[in-house]
């Protein structure tokens, strides 16, 4: 290989490296040899013409190989700025069967390139391709949710000479998705995945008679078992930015006897209207196997469409509102409408109102709160009309402590579930199949943790549970429940047996039983 002359254009002669007297059995052997030689000299070899003898005059077996920079790019019809590696390189190799039948011979027709050759392989058309081992590695790491940039780093750790970049990894992941889906549409593939994993699912189409999906609900078989074991409290909330269609996702979570959160079901809905919630909650109700079992409490935000649907589908269930969001909203309005020197006092008084242990104390604390805000009538009106008058029974402890909420007064559990799902999804531009994949992975992990928590209740005894008092509860009642009992026993030293001083909150709000 030689660089020729001091001309206005760099010329590189590769005649020597491509000259050979070797005979090849097949055209494929010729191509492989030429590409290997090209790789060693940083020349991209492509097939520019291939003919087969078919009886037509002048049509004989031959193979023409050229440089990947050969030809001329026509950009006259392009309206956008573009670039091309083509520079009309004249390099050409001809291969044809030898006359004595000993194989294919190679002849260099023009061995000079009209361009310089790169000094490294980055961006090289063949060297930048994934090898068979790299393809398998990308597949394995993709299934384990490894980000493309980390996959590239892993490949470079395996082979420091690798010039693979994230673009190739993304391309490989896309091809994996196409191969997995085959000829099925996205909806067909989604329903197939649900069926393969034994999910219970329902869906409905738009009313216009089209095949466009309106709503879809699905639940994992393990989630259904847990729901029927622990149906007392459910937490539900909608979230966004999980799919490319921008459909809201209704996520429903439950609580086990070991105080752990589990996913009950998921519903992608066309919109957050009462009809959509009504349909989704109706499907949730069908998951409960016994007619006399229903959730005691459903925790939500102040979403009127969802609240109305709960009232219709679960008429005997108490719909509690998230105290964290209520306090946050009132504090935000307080920051704007209350004088600076009174802000913190008003915020503390509002928290006291929410945490009122009984109706008498509630009225006293409310009077103190309103007295502190006497010069902010708009703020008091907002609190009364937006929260207290219509909803105080759904978030003030004087009323919520009468129902069995198991110590749950916020939607933090389902908010945390939103976060875990989005972390598993990596981005918000995936389709519903990708969403199902992320949900399924999360459920597998949480079910393992729940099973482990059950086993701990069987085999491990906490120090505070080792007294003879708990001897008939160990291995039958969860450690979380016994911890509550232990805490109540410590309270006896403070409150004694005075019922009014005790409040008996645990009796009405919490029951944990290991099953």
Residues 108-125 have pLDDT tens digits of 999 999 988 887 767 666
Total Cβ atoms within 10 A of residue 256: 21
The pTM for the full model equals 0.78
Average pLDDT over residues 412-417: 96
> Which alpha helices (DSSP H) does 159-240 contain, by range?
166-181, 186-196, 221-229
Task: Tell whether the model's pLDDT for residue 446 goes beyond 70.
Answer: yes
Nearest of 254, 263, 145 to residue 199 by alpha carbon: 263
Average pLDDT over residues 291-300: 93
Q: Is the pLDDT of residue 438 over 50?
A: yes
d(Cα 390, Cα 369) in Å, to the nearest integer? 18
| Tens-digit pLDDT profile for residues 278-291 | 999 999 999 999 88
Would you state the pLDDT for residue 130?
A: 86
Does residue 270 surpass a pLDDT of 90? yes
Contacts of 284 (CB under 8 A, 6+ apart): 217, 219, 252, 264, 265, 313
Q: In which band, very low, low, confident or very high, does the pLDDT at 4 lie, cut at 50, 70 and 90?
A: low
pLDDT at 253 over 80: yes
Looking at residues 357-369, what average pLDDT do you find?
95
pLDDT above 70 for 507: no
Residue 499 confidence (pLDDT): 63
Task: Give the pLDDT score at 472.
Answer: 79
- Give the pLDDT band (50/70/90) at residue 500: low
Inform me whether the pLDDT recorded for 395 exceeds 80: yes
Judge whether residue 514 has pLDDT over 50. Answer: no
Distance CA 474, CA 495 (A): 26
Residue with tokens 């970049």: 165
Residue 311 main-chain phi, psi, to 5 deg: -60, -35
Residues contacting residue 282 through CB under 8 Å, at least 6 positions apart? 313
What is the mean predicted confidence (pLDDT) over 33-59?
85
Q: How does the average pLDDT of the chain come out, rounded?
A: 88
Query: Which of 26-30, 34-38, 507-511 is the least confident region?
Result: 507-511
Residue 7 is predicted with a pLDDT of 46
Helix residue ranges, H only, 115-254: 132-143, 148-158, 166-181, 186-196, 221-229
Of the pLDDT bands very low, low, confident and very high (cuts 50, 70, 90), residue 394 is very high
Q: Rounded distance, CA 172 to CA 137, Å?
A: 11
- Res 509: pLDDT: 65
203 has pLDDT over 50:
yes
């Amino acid at each position: 290989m030689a660089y020729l002359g001091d001309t206005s254009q760099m010329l590189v002669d590769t005649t020597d490296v491509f000259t050979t007297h070797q005979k090849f059995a097949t055209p494929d052997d010729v191509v492989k040899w030429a590409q290997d030689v090209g790789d060693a000299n940083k020349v991209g070899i492509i097939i520019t013409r291939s003919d087969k003898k078919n009886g037509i005059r002048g049509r004989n077996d031959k193979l023409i190989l050229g440089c990947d920079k050969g030809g001329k790019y026509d950009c006259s019809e392009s309206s956008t700025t573009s670039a091309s590696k083509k520079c009309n390189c004249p390099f050409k190799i001809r291969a044809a069967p030898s006359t004595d039948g000993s194989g294919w011979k190679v002849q260099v027709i023009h061995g000079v390139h009209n361009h310089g050759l790169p000094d490294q392989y980055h961006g090289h058309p063949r060297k930048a391709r994934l090898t068979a081992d790299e393809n398998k590695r990308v597949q394995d790491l993709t299934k384990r949710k490894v980000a493309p940039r980390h996959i590239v780093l892993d490949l470079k750790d395996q082979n420091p000479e690798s010039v693979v970049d994230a673009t190739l990894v993304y391309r490989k992941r896309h091809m994996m998705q196409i191969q997995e889906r085959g000829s099925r549409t996205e909806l067909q593939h989604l329903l197939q995945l649900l069926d393969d994993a034994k999910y219970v699912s329902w869906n409905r189409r738009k009313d216009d008679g089209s095949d466009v999906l309106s709503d879809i609900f699905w639940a994992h078989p393990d989630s259904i078992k847990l729901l029927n074991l622990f149906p007392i409290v459910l937490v539900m909330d909608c979230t966004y930015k999980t799919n490319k269609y921008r459909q809201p996702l209704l996520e429903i979570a439950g609580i086990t006897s070991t105080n752990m959160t589990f996913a009950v079901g998921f519903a992608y809905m066309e919109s957050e209207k009462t009809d959509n919630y009504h349909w989704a909650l109706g499907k949730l109700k069908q998951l409960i196997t016994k007619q006399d079992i229903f959730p005691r409490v459903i925790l939500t935000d102040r979403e009127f469409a969802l609240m109305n649907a709960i009232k219709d589908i679960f008429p005997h269930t108490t719909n509690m509102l998230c105290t964290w969001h209520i306090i946050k909203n009132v504090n935000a309005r307080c920051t704007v409408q209350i004088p600076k020197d009174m802000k913190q006092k008003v915020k503390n008084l509002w928290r006291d109102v929410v945490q009122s242990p009984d109706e008498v104390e509630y009225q006293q604390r409310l009077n103190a709160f309103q007295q502190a805000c006497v010069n902010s009538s708009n703020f008091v009106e907002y609190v009364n009309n937006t929260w207290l008058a219509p909803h105080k029974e759904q978030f003030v402890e004087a009323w919520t402590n009468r129902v069995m909420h198991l110590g749950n007064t916020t939607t933090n559990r389902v908010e945390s579930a939103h976060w875990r799902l989005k972390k598993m999804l990596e981005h918000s531009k995936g389709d519903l199949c990708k969403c199902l994949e992320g949900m399924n992975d999360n459920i597998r992990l949480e079910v393992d943790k729940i099973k482990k928590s059950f086993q701990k209740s069987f085999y491990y005894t906490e120090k505070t549970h080792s007294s003879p008092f708990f001897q008939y509860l160990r291995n039958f009642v969860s450690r979380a429940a016994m911890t509550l009992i232990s805490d109540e026993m410590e309270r006896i030293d403070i409150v004694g047996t005075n019922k009014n001083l005790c409040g008996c909150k645990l009796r009405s709000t919490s029951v944990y039983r290991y099953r």
